[in-house]
Structures are given as structure tokens and as C-alpha cells.
Structure 1
Amino acid sequence: MQPEATLNQLKASLPDGQLPPSYGVYFKNTLVALCHALEDHILLSSSQNSAQKPLVLVTFQQGKWYLQEADRYFDLAQCSAHVAIAAMPDSGFATHKTGQEDNVSLVHLDDSDSLVNEWNLIIVARDYAAMVLCHELSPEEYRADNQPTVDTERKFYGLWTFDRTLVEKSASILIERFRPYNPTLADRLHTSHQEISLMPSAAPADLSGVVARIVSYLQTSQQQLVTITRQTRELVELEGQALKMNRNLAANKLQAFLRMAQGVDERDKDNPVASLQVSALSETLGQIIDLPTLKLRRLRLAGLLFRIGLAQAPSEVFSQSSHQLNETNYSFWRKRAVLGAQLLATMPELAPIQQIVLHHLEHWDGSGTPNGLKGEEISIEARILGLVSYFQELTQPRGDRAAYNLTEALEQCQNYSGTRFDPALIESLTTVIRLAEMGLMQLPTRPSQLPSVWLEEGKKPESKDRSQETELTSS
């Protein structure tokens, strides 16, 4: 990747030089899926208020442009304040109706500019920011035996994020890369960017829908990749390629799930770090009772994802106590574990985590949901998650209920020892809280590791051996 690449410039501009966890190597179909999900959000959240319309910056690598995408960008232009598209002169934009729109500007790239190897989509709006930022691998960066022979096998260094700071830095970098082609346009884009950035803060857009679409698009693109590979490879090669594609796509689906869970916390103004705290304290309890490493990792990830079922929840679920909720909203609240499990079930690699989330509202005496499991029929991970999530929620305010202090929250949990919760786990939680109260330890606020991404491949025998673990990053 050339030093002037937008990705490299972004990395150099960051204080720690650390790109977000979504950075890795992506197949082309994955990028199409990610871009379509972000573009759909523009189309579905279209506003007549010009102040709400986003600035959209796009580059297309190698001038590869498809008619259906050109038509799609015509519709996007109707929903955007300004769309700047950089592509090769023979891309067809100049004669397509999209290129004729008043709020669409074209940048005809020189074939010696490294921008021809980039595929970027940057969206800056008043209430959200998002981007997919990518650079295609050079022929030298592929292994000799792994050169792409079909379009879907092409790979890109890249990332996707909703982090406004990163998006705005990238927008400024890309605008300056347009400047040698058209200084007047660069000034205009810079002004538009500044106007949006300086607007009074608006309520953050609810992006749970766009993340859900990312998951859906990734699922579809995975199926397409395997289908195409079956048509172009012999059986032995198919299995290897399908596995690589599946790992890449699965990692990005997990990133989408993690972002969805983060979005739930962001909606909960009274408990905005619930997932981090639950994951951290669950891990601590698991360590105290000496859970095997693999189970600890599952528990840690389940803690980060246990609220994902609330992604589409009414706002009242986050602002009212359970006794204040009307019948419809209370039903939503009671079904949160099932809803979360249904989402996670779309990823076979998350099957153990899905089961933990599904059963964390089961009760020790069999009175819980969804299956009325009793005692040790409930997995130890689900028992821990159920106890810790209840305790953590009590330590934060909810509706007309003030937050409990640690002792009060522990006493509430102790009241349910032997009925709702495993008595042995109540004792373990009591030990942790007493140590914290005496100043001998601090309650953890973050798990020991945040997944950059971790998944499981296939079923393996349970053991405490670290060889049971599988690390998987989006690269």
C-alpha cells in the first residue's frame, strides 16, 4: 500500500497510530455488502431538511463501475447535500444521469494516482458519521499461489466504522487528495464538511437498523461467495476458499453484532456501559470459580452481547422500571433473551454464546424463561451472566428507581439465593463485593480483553487446555 493511501494517512494522523478493530483484509463481496448497508441508511433516512442531508465522498478503484451502482447513486444524490465521486475518466459517470445532477461532482482520476486502487465511502451527517475505507492489495501482496482468478477473490485492506472522529479525519484527507484535480471543488467540499461539523449537536441517529442490515448483507454475500466458488473451483480448492471467505465474513458479522450491542448501550442513558461492566464482572466471577479458559472467553463475549435483543426496543424500555412498562413494552423486555438469541443464531460460530444469552434469564428453581430450566440444567456461564446482569442493573438508576449502592444491590441478589440464583454463585459474588468494599480490589469496569474478533470453528471436546481456543481477526 502506498504511503499516500488514505488508510495510511489516517493511521499516521492518529495519536497512537492504531486503526479500529474492524481493520483487516476484506473480500470484494464483503465491501459491496458493507457499502450497500451504509447507502441504504441514507435512502431510508432521507430528509427534506437540507441541514439533515449528508455529505458523501466516494472513490471507485480501477474505474470499475457497474450500471446498477450508477443508478443507485442517482437515488442517493436525491437524499444527499453533496456527492463527490472519484473514478477513472472512462467510468461512464460523465454521460450517466447521476453525473448530471447539480449536487454531484466528478473527479476524473489520473491512472498514476494511488486513488485508483482505493474503494472509499465516507458519509458525514449532522447526527451520524460512517465510512468504509479500503485499498486493494497489489499483485506483490498476494501469495504466489493465491493470486485472484475471479473478481470475487480480489482483496482489500480496509475498515468500516461509525466513529465520528475517524470519519471526519478521513473526509479531510480525501478532500485534500481531490484538491490537485479541482481546487474549487476541494474548497467547496471543505466548507460543506466544516458546516456540518460545526452544526449544533443533534440527537445521535439510531444506527441499530443499519447494523442489522450489515449483518443481513454479510450473510447474503457469504452465500453468494460460496455459490460462485462452487462454480469455479474443484472440490478440494472449494473447501479451502470457502473456509477463508467464511472466516473473513464471520469476523465482520461479529463486529456488526458488537456494534449493535454498543448501540443498545448508547440508547440507555442511565446505563451506557452495561455490556462492558457485565462482561468484566462475569469474567471475574468465572475466574474465582476457576472456569476453563474457553468457557471464560465465551462468558466474556456473551457479556458483551447479552443486550443485543434490545436493539429495536422502544425507548421506554430504557427509561422506565419494569413495573412502569405497559403490556407491550413489558413483553418486549421479558423476551429480550430470546430476541438476542434469534439474532445470534444467524452465526453458527456463535452457537455457544447464543445458548448463554438465550438461557441467562432461567432461574435456579425452574421459574425462569424461556425453557424453565432448573439448577445445573442451566449452564454455568448462563447462571453467571444472569446473576451479574441483574446485579449490575441494580447499581444504575432505572425509571422511578434510584441506583442501589453495592451493598444494597448485593442484598437484593441474596434475597433470591436458591430461587432465582445459584447459591454458590451468590457466595462468590458476595466475596467480590466484600473485597471491593474493604478496598482490597476494584470492581472491573472492562473485560480483560475486547475481541478484535474471536470466534469458534467446529465442535471440540471441552477441556481447560488453551489449545481449545481459536483466535480470528478480520485479517
Structure 2
Amino acid sequence: MNPESTLNLLKASLPDSQLPSSFGVYFKNTLVALCHALEDHLLQTGEATGEKPLVLVTFQQGKWYLQEADRYLQIAQLSRHVVISAVPDSGFAEHPTGQLDNVSLINLEPSDSLVEEWNLLIIAPGYRAMVLCHELSESEYLANAKPTIDTERKFYGLWTFDKALVDQTTEILINRFRNYNPELGDRLWESYQNITATPNPTFPDLSTVVSRIVTYLQSSQQELISVNRQNRQLWQLEGQAKRVSRNLSANKLQALLRMAQQVDERDSFNPCASLQVAALCETIGQILDLPTVKLRRLKLAGLLHRIGLVSAPPEVFLKTPSEMDEATQKFWRDRASIGGRLLEAMPELTVVQQVVNHHLENWDGSGVPDGQKGKQINIKARILGLVSYFQELTQPRGNRPALTLKDALNECEKYSGTRFDPAVVNSLATVIRLTEVGLMQLPTQPTQLPNIWLEEITNPAYSEHPESPKITH
């Protein structure tokens, strides 16, 4: 990666140079999907919220299309300031977008690494969003693997809603823009400081934008195959289309798995919750003799069961429910239904979505969101509900210390027949007792963990780098 790139400058500024889990190598069509998802969120919610964001964009190598220019004409009307950086002949200056008072154009010098970047930063009082990318150099592609089709070009990149990461990148880009226009740099810094100082007592619900990201990833699959049909002979395409379909199906799922990872990364008390819950769910499912297909779906539901907390306030990860204020308690109560809404964006996950959506239903009908009772509740949701509660008890939270396995089981057994299915509680008890007498170890991660959960680059050229990014096809 170019050491002068914004992505590399961000990495160097972070503790231990650790980029977030969304960092990987992305196809160009995936970046288009991600950027359009974030832009559409702004277009569809900007007027309602009244949040005038600062928008910083870099169009890679100045490739500019009329529909994108028209798109940013609308975005500018909902923003306090839009900065577009590209090479001088990109056509921005002639387009109406470039004539707006709140749009600033930066003509990049050909030697500036920004011409190889593709960036979108949205800095709003209530939320932050970012796609940050830098194209692979010719030497970084495998031998004879440099793409001949534009949509298959690859970029180092990441996407995130993390405020600290977006703010740090904003400061880096403003300083880079200041080299071209010091006065603009000062204006941007003042605008950024005003946004940072704006109080925002509400917790933004980003479930819609996450759903939009996954939806765009789905549609990009059909678009990529359609483009390739126009550029290759049919016999060449068929093999590639299958590969593209697999890659982009992984992309859709990865958009959700990365969100689940980010939730765990925010939780300093319980950073391995998803893995541990998925693993114990699988074990109990085996004891209850669930068929293989159901076990796979149960494991995936375990990995994704906390995705509803992706935009949760920090207090959710620092306090027990009894210690939370009313607004945070509501977020905690609604976490299953929020997660269910997010997973609706991927129809292939309908069964998993229903498991996550209903894992807080109670055996006696007193749960949420639908008050299902007894065996009306899917067996996978019954297992996930018990295991997630048990695992949470084994970790410290706020003023509550971590419980031993035995004490956590005792707490679960108190709710057998009311909150939890007695048969599932008995299965959990079997596992814990076998663990206590040393006949088995409590599993910490499921078998056949999806590669895209923590998939490392396999290119030998990167093997010398211990912090190689995760592949995202």
C-alpha cells in the first residue's frame, strides 16, 4: 500500500496501527455499492433530520459520470459543505454541481496519491460514515491477475460508522486539502469543529443504512454479471459468473458479519460473545439432535445475534440493564427486533433472521417481539435465547462480576418453564456438568467457522506482514 495514502496515514495514527475488521481488499463494484448506500441514506434522511453534514469525497483517477454529478447536486442541497477532489479534467467545474456556493473543487496533482484513492466521508452531528480506499498497484496484483474489466479492479479499503475513525480521517484529509487551498482548509476545520461541538442527545438508528448496504451489495451482483455478459463470450462468462456469484454472496453476508464483529469489538467486557454463543448453540443443538442444516443456521444466528446493537449507545456495553437509563434500556429491549430488521436486507437469511428476531421470546409467552409461547417459538430461537443469556452471565458487566459456570446455570434454571424451554435448559445443564467434571471443554468457537469471519489474505506476497487485511471479494 502506498505509504502516502490516506488509508496508510490513518493506520499509522491508530494505536498499534490496528485498522478495523472491515479492512480488506474490495472489488470496484462493491465500493460503488457501499458509497451509494451511504449517499442514499443521506438523501433519504437528510431533510427529515435537518442534520447538515460535511461531505468529503475523492473520485479515483477523476473518473466522473453524469449520473454521479447529478447525484451530488442533490447531496449538496442537504449538506453544509461538499468537497470534491479529482484531477483537473474531470468535468466538475463545468457541471452545475461545481457551481454551487457550498461545493469546493480540488484539482489534484498527478503525483498526489489521492488520484489513486476513492473516498467518501460523511460527518454529521448525529452520526459518522466512511468508505476509504486506495487501488492496488500493478505490482500488488498476482501474476497475470490484473483485471481487464473495470468493475473487477481491486482496492485496499474499509467502511465504518465509528466516530473516532471517521474523525481521525477527517483531520488527515483536511490537512491534505490544505496543501492545495489553505483558506479552504481553515473553513473546513471550522465547519468540522462546529459539527463536533453540536450536542446530540439521541442515539441514531443506523439499521436502515446497514440494510441499504446489503441491498446494494445484492444488486451489484446482477449488475456485474450483466456487464460481463456484454464484454465476454458466453462460454467464458458462465464459469466467471459462478465465481462472481460466490464472491458477492460472501460480500452480502460479510457486510453483516463485519457489523457483528464491530459490536463485539466495542464490548470490552465481552469481546468474544458472538463466537462463544455460536459455539455453545452448536453443542446444545447436537445434544438435541438437530439436523445438519438447522445446526448451520443456528451457528450463523449465534454469530449474528448481537447485530442489533451495532448503533447502540456505549452504556449498553458498560452497564447492566438495571443500571441503564430509560432510553438505553429501550435500545437493549429492542435489540432482537432491530437485528431482525437488519437481516431482512438479505433474503437468503430469512430463516436465520427469524431466529435472531425471536430469540428473546419467552416460553410462557411474555417475551418480545411477538409474545410467542412454548413450541410456537422455533427451537433454534429457544436455544439461542438461553445460550445468549447464559454466556452474558459468565462475563462481567457494569457492577456485576462474572458468574461461574455453575452459578450462571443456576440463574438459568430459575427461569426454566417460564422464560426458557425446560428441555433446552436440561441440555445446557448436561454440557456444564460434563465440563465441571472434566469430560469436555466448553467450546469457544463453532466448528467450520465461516472463512469470511476472519479470512486472511492467502497471497504469499503478503505473508511477511503480520497485519495483512482480510480478503473481501
TM-score scaled by length of structure 2: 0.72
> Is residue 136–residue 157 contact of structure 1 (8 Å, CA) maintained in 2?
yes
| Gap change, CA 1:429 and 1:383, over 3 Å in 2 | farther
CA drift of 1:202 comes to 3.6
Distance, in Å, in 2 between the alignment partners of 1:310 and 1:163 is 13
Number of the residue aligned with 1:422: 424
Number of the residue aligned with 2:21: 21
> Is residue 60–residue 114 contact of structure 2 (8 Å, CA) maintained in 1?
yes
| Gap change, CA 1:261 and 1:421, over 3 Å in 2 | farther
Number of the residue aligned with 1:410: 412
Distance, in Å, in 1 between the alignment partners of 2:371 and 2:98 is 54
Aligned length, in residue pairs? 425
1:118 to 2:117 alignment: yes
> Is residue 54–residue 125 contact of structure 1 (8 Å, CA) maintained in 2?
yes
CA drift of 1:254 comes to 2.5
| Gap change, CA 1:363 and 1:426, over 3 Å in 2 | farther
> Is residue 285–residue 295 contact of structure 2 (8 Å, CA) maintained in 1?
no
Number of the residue aligned with 2:181: 182
1:157 to 2:153 alignment: no
> Is residue 386–residue 420 contact of structure 2 (8 Å, CA) maintained in 1?
no
Give, as a single letter, the amino acid of the residue that structure 1 aligns with 2:413. E
1:474 to 2:472 alignment: yes
Greater alpha carbon shift after TM alignment, 239-248 vs 426-435: 426-435
Number of the residue aligned with 2:276: 280
| Gap change, CA 1:229 and 1:81, over 3 Å in 2 | same
Greater alpha carbon shift after TM alignment, 333-342 vs 200-209: 333-342
Number of the residue aligned with 2:466: none
Over the matched positions of the two proteins, sequence identity in percent amounts to 55
Matches within 5 A, 1:431-446: 431=433
Q: SS at the partner of 1:226?
A: helix
Structure 2 segments unaligned to the other structure (5+ residues):
312-320, 323-329, 396-402, 456-469
Distance, in Å, in 2 between the alignment partners of 1:100 and 1:337 is 41
Distance, in Å, in 1 between the alignment partners of 2:338 and 2:61 is 46
Give, as a single letter, the amino acid of the residue that structure 1 aligns with 2:7. L
Structure 1 segments unaligned to the other structure (5+ residues):
313-319, 322-328, 397-403, 436-440, 457-471
> Is residue 6–residue 172 contact of structure 2 (8 Å, CA) maintained in 1?
yes
| Gap change, CA 1:352 and 1:454, over 3 Å in 2 | farther
> Is residue 211–residue 345 contact of structure 2 (8 Å, CA) maintained in 1?
no
Distance, in Å, in 2 between the alignment partners of 1:341 and 1:185 is 39
Q: SS at the partner of 1:159?
A: strand
Aligned CA-pair RMSD: 5.0
Matches within 5 A, 1:240-279: 240-258=239-257, 277=273
Number of the residue aligned with 1:343: 344
Give, as a single letter, the amino acid of the residue that structure 2 aligns with 1:422. V
CA drift of 1:428 comes to 3.2
Distance, in Å, in 1 between the alignment partners of 2:114 and 2:54 is 19
Distance, in Å, in 2 between the alignment partners of 1:278 and 1:20 is 17
CA drift of 1:418 comes to 9.7
> Is residue 37–residue 213 contact of structure 1 (8 Å, CA) maintained in 2?
yes
Number of the residue aligned with 2:212: 213
Greater alpha carbon shift after TM alignment, 70-79 vs 23-32: 23-32
**What's the CA shift string for 1:203-238, capped at 9, x where partnerless?**
232111111111111111111112222332345542
Number of the residue aligned with 1:10: 10
| Gap change, CA 1:229 and 1:420, over 3 Å in 2 | farther
Greater alpha carbon shift after TM alignment, 29-38 vs 246-255: 246-255
Give, as a single letter, the amino acid of the residue that structure 2 aligns with 1:474. T
Distance, in Å, in 1 between the alignment partners of 2:342 and 2:82 is 39
| Gap change, CA 1:19 and 1:98, over 3 Å in 2 | same
Number of the residue aligned with 1:324: none
> Is residue 274–residue 392 contact of structure 1 (8 Å, CA) maintained in 2?
no
CA drift of 1:283 comes to 2.4
Distance, in Å, in 1 between the alignment partners of 2:342 and 2:119 is 33
